[in-house]
Amino acid sequence: MMLKKQYAVFFPILLAAGCATQQTTQQPSKPIRQAKVQVTQTQTIQVKPKPVIVKQNTIITPKPSYRSFSDWKSDFSMRAMSAGYRSSDVQRLLGAAYLNEQVISLDSGQPEFSKMPWEYADSAVSNARVANGKRNFAEQRSYLSGLESQYGVNAEIITAIWGMESSYGAVTGSSHLPSALASLAYEGRRQEFAETQLLSLIELLQRGDVSWSQLEGSWAGGMGQTQFIPGTWIKEGVDGDSDGHRNPWSTADALASTANYLSNSGWVRGLAPFYEVTLPSSFDYSIVDTKQSASRWASLGIDTIDDVYLDANTQMELWLPAGKEGPALLLSPNFDVIKVYNNSSSYALGVSLLGKAIAGQSDLRTSWPRYERPLSTTQVTRLQQHLTSSGYDTKGADGIIGTNTRKAFQRWQGNNGQTPDGFISQRSASSLTVW
């Protein structure tokens, strides 16, 4: 990586939440080049804002528990009406709502947390999804170019999210939204979230963005072609086709709203979500998963595989999704922005790889270690318990390999003769605990 000469005037970069731009006068040992960005010049899309219904009252605290689903519906109706929502709308919304046990089951086992990263990536860039993505990208090229020009979000990333969320509008969900959200609220694990989305759904029905005959979506409450939940649609929805409504089932509205959402979440124009890199043989793996400036990573001997220009001050995170034997990626702030859709690194990787494929760019150059096998949920729980009891606190034992578990395992690796890459598999964890 080569660094362009540093000038006295610095141009600030808008970073995703939790990232900070740092300026440095220290020259890296391997400088980094300034990003070259080409933006298609198209006509700016005119967005007609529409007033949002805002309730002034606060819904009162729910009961600690409910005897039945009917008991919850009765109590929620009373609380919603006390907060100022029309009785007729509340009763109409909940009148047909039923307890969906499948929704409760699905809520406890999302695939992002139970697959190896390459399994999720393979699904994201399946031949059918890529082919359909290229076709839809071509059909919407002019409109997507306009969105990229206005919002700064890569057109292929907007298209990739469209593909991941609804197969480009073909599968928008068949769950009855009031029933799905009501079931989540009654179950209780995410009661506040689900009840808030139900109230937001009422507001969308009142202002006409959603019709009473159009209440089918995902089991988790997602609506339309890019699967916004009601509360987020209220804040981020855009009238892309200028018909006076912000309809999540409209292609134009959904794509414009996705671009708007990512832009408002901190998308940096001209920056890819990740860059594949090579590591020096003497690399200190204990700093994996940390964020450093691009110039700092270069000074440590990290180089991009492709000929890439990066601003020296951009904060990047080094991620080894499959440990030292797999690809090494420098994650840009835009990788974190993608996670506003789904707070999963595997999801963000899938979107990023699909976007590259749609744009005709190369896949990862480094092969995945497909011989590695994942731990079951029970095994992860036991691993977390063992790590914590051994002095490597995982902040809980929930059976999900998250950041705290990976960092705890990484510390254990460093103290027990393993390369501290933080990658947990049957092989790497075999000497730590007995299944």
Degrees to nearest 5, angle at CA 369 with 364 and 370 = 105
What's the confidence (pLDDT) of residue 435?
A: 58
What's the confidence (pLDDT) of residue 43?
A: 38
Contacts of 155 (CB under 8 A, 6+ apart): 40, 137, 141, 144, 145, 147, 148
Question: Quick one: fold of 274-358?
Answer: Lysozyme (1.10.530)
Is the distance from CB of 262 to CB of 157 less than 8 angstroms? yes
Q: Kindly report, residue by residue over 373-415, the tens digit of the pLDDT.
A: 999 888 999 999 999 999 999 999 988 888 899 999 999 999 9
Q: How many CA atoms lie within 13 A of 174 on its CB side?
A: 3
pLDDT band at 346; cut points 50, 70, 90: very high
pLDDT band at 61; cut points 50, 70, 90: confident
Residue 278 three-state SS: strand
Q: Kindly report, residue by residue over 102-153, the tens digit of the pLDDT.
A: 998 888 655 444 689 999 999 999 999 999 999 999 999 999 999 999 999 9
Q: Which pTM value belongs to this model? A: 0.84
pLDDT value at 424 more than 50: yes
| Residue 225: Cβ within 10 Å count | 26
Cα–Cα distance for residue pair 332/275, rounded to 1 Å = 8
List where CATH 1.10.530.10 sits in the chain: 274-358
Q: E strands of 242-345, at which residues?
A: 274-278, 291-293, 303-304, 315-319, 328-331
Strand partners, 233: none
Distance set, CA 419 to CA 254, 277, 416 (Å):
44, 18, 9
Across residues 253-263, what is the average pLDDT?
98
Contacts of 219 (CB under 8 A, 6+ apart): 100, 102, 103, 106, 107, 173, 175, 180
**With 0-12 CB in 10 A as exposed, 13-18 as middle and 19+ as buried, what is 99?**
middle
Strands 291-293 and 315-319: antiparallel
Contacts of 370 (CB under 8 A, 6+ apart): 118
Q: Kindly report, residue by residue over 219-240, the tens digit of the pLDDT.
A: 999 999 999 999 999 999 999 9
Q: Kindly report, residue by residue over 273-295, the tens digit of the pLDDT.
A: 999 999 999 999 999 999 999 99
